[in-house]
Amino acid sequence: MLFAFVLIPIGLVSTVYGVVLATERRRPIDLAGALLAAAGLAAALLGVGRLLSERFF
């Protein structure tokens, strides 16, 4: 359960930072920001899934 509580804030922070990078920087930093935002969102959703179900992964 602790892993879920760690994944959610890390995922949310990296999503927000990735969106900021993707919208305010030039290439290739904006591409890296878009990938970071997607990875952060996946991490946050993985944390929520782990929080809701103990057998999620």
Domain ranges in the chain are 2-51
CA 25 – CA 57 distance, rounded (Å): 36
Residue indicated by tokens 């760690």: 6
Per-residue pLDDT, 1: 85
Q: What is the mean pLDDT of residues 25-50?
A: 95
| Amino acid 11: pLDDT | 97
Q: Which alpha helices (H) appear in the chain, and where do they start and end? A: 2-24, 29-52
Mean pLDDT for the stretch of residues 44-53:
93
Answer yes or no: are the C-beta atoms of 50 and 4 closer than 8 Å.
Answer: yes
Question: Does residue 9 have a cis bond before it (omega within 30 degrees)?
Answer: no
* Residue of 42, 39, 37, 40 lying closest to 18 (CA atoms): 37
Q: What percent of the chain has pLDDT over 70?
A: 98
pLDDT range class, residue 55, cuts 50, 70, 90: confident
